[in-house]
Amino acid sequence: MTTPIIEMRGIMKRFGAVQALNNVNFRLMPGEILGLVGDNSAGKSTLMKVMTGAYQRDAGQVLVNGEETHFKSPHESRDRGIEMIYQDFALCGNMDVGQNIFLGRWPKRFGLFVDRARMYEEARQVLGRLKVDVNSVFQKVESLSGGRQQSVAIARAISFEPKVIVFDEPTANLSVMATERLLETMAELKRQGVAQVIISHRLTDIFEVGDRIMVLKRGENVGDRYIAHTTEKEVLELIVSGTPETALTADEALQRAA
């Protein structure tokens, strides 16, 4: 049996009087695209921030390739091949595309000077790997459309050679055309073996590219389904009224359908 690239067991997280996560289990298989859905207070982003070390869990385990870990910061999870791309992309608008892709770790010559030629060439290579079209690696990021800026954010994540990328509401502010390009990029990353988590309210996007979908409600697991064996209607019902007592794992649901 294949070992999950990421597994979380019994995750608990409280913020003051609010129990944000209550005994949440999560798994992500190598090369899988998983949709993580639920309403605005479900705990989706909190769970992913616990996974990446942005938040510290109160209880539970996080395993990477079967090895228990305890990331103290996103820098530590990055070292293990996990990247998270936030809604605001965290780009520097006054810098160009190449500078943003290698921000804070620019290639050096003789250990002292920024090797600009190498930086821009490697930026082109990363963008080419994603099969995205940015007019120029010298273009200021602030002059790019939202979709192009997102491509730069993804390229920066890819430059770290991640095994896992988490997208936080990636299509929320994109045009129809930009959304199509992003979904094509996700499919390309899957072909390259990169596992992905999509936090989104747009079920149509998840059903187009996803393999599996997991539902949280009020910080608890309420459903886990393979895309091929469920419908948007069933997932919506879980988001609105699902309860832990009635939830099935994807494997249980598949066995029941057989």
CA pair distance 1, 142, nearest whole angstrom? 46
pTM summary value:
0.86
Tell me the pLDDT tens digit for each residue of 135-190: 789 999 999 888 888 889 888 898 899 999 999 988 887 888 888 888 999 999 99
Q: In the chain, what are the domains? A: 1-81+162-181+188-257 (3.40.50.300), 91-160 (no CATH)
Q: Which of 16, 35, 23 is nearest to 215 (CA)?
A: 35
Q: Other CB atoms closer than 10 Å to residue 74's CB: what's the count?
A: 16
Specify the length of the chain in residues: 258
Tell me the pLDDT tens digit for each residue of 69-95: 999 999 999 999 999 998 888 899 999
